[in-house]
């Protein structure tokens, strides 16, 4: 089983709607997760970190971690065209390394 799995997309969401991005992981990885946003041709940008079970909200973004189901998600409320990007799920491995999923391409439809 691959350690981090994401649907490659593209996921198309109308402007103003909620975009839901999902990630599943093997039980070997840590219980700390990061979400990165990567615009085409640019480097990844950290947008959310979640270290414990439950929800964490930051502005329009909410990260959800369900350890029992080995599932982490990112919700983007009031989606904007500027949210169109690839979103990378990244769990922490060991004490100092992150592994990255291949990402989900999100397209916000104006």
- 28 forms part of the interface with another protein (CB under 8 A): no
Give the residue from 73, 75, 86 showing the smallest Cα distance to 23: 73
Look at phi and psi of residue 69 and say left if phi exceeds 0, alpha if psi is from -120 to 50, else beta: alpha
What would the x/- binding string for another protein be over residues 38 to 77, using CB under 8 A?
----xxxxx--x----------------------------
Question: Applying CB under 8 A, which of residues 76, 103, 106, 108 lies at the interface with another protein?
Answer: 103
Give whichever of 42 and 77 is closer to another protein, judged by the CB atom: 42
Chain CA centroid to CA 88, Å: 5
Are 7 and 103 contacting, i.e. CB atoms less than 8 angstroms apart? no
Are 1 and 26 contacting, i.e. CB atoms less than 8 angstroms apart? yes
- 100 forms part of the interface with another protein (CB under 8 A): yes
Give whichever of 20 and 49 is closer to another protein, judged by the CB atom: 49
Summarize as ranges the residues that interact with another protein (CB under 8 A).
Answer: 32, 34, 42-46, 49, 88, 92, 96-103
């Amino acid at each position: 089983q691959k350690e981090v799995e994401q649907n490659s997309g593209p996921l198309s969401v109308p402007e103003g709607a909620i975009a839901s991005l999902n990630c599943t992981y093997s039980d070997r990885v840590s219980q700390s997760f990061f979400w990165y946003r990567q615009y085409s041709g640019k480097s990844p940008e950290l947008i959310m970190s979640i270290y414990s079970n439950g929800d964490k909200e930051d502005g329009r973004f909410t990260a959800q971690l369900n350890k029992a189901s080995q599932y982490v998600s990112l919700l983007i409320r009031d989606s904007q065209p500027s949210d169109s990007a690839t979103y990378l799920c990244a769990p922490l491995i060991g004490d100092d390394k992150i592994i990255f999923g291949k990402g989900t391409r999100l397209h916000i439809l104006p």
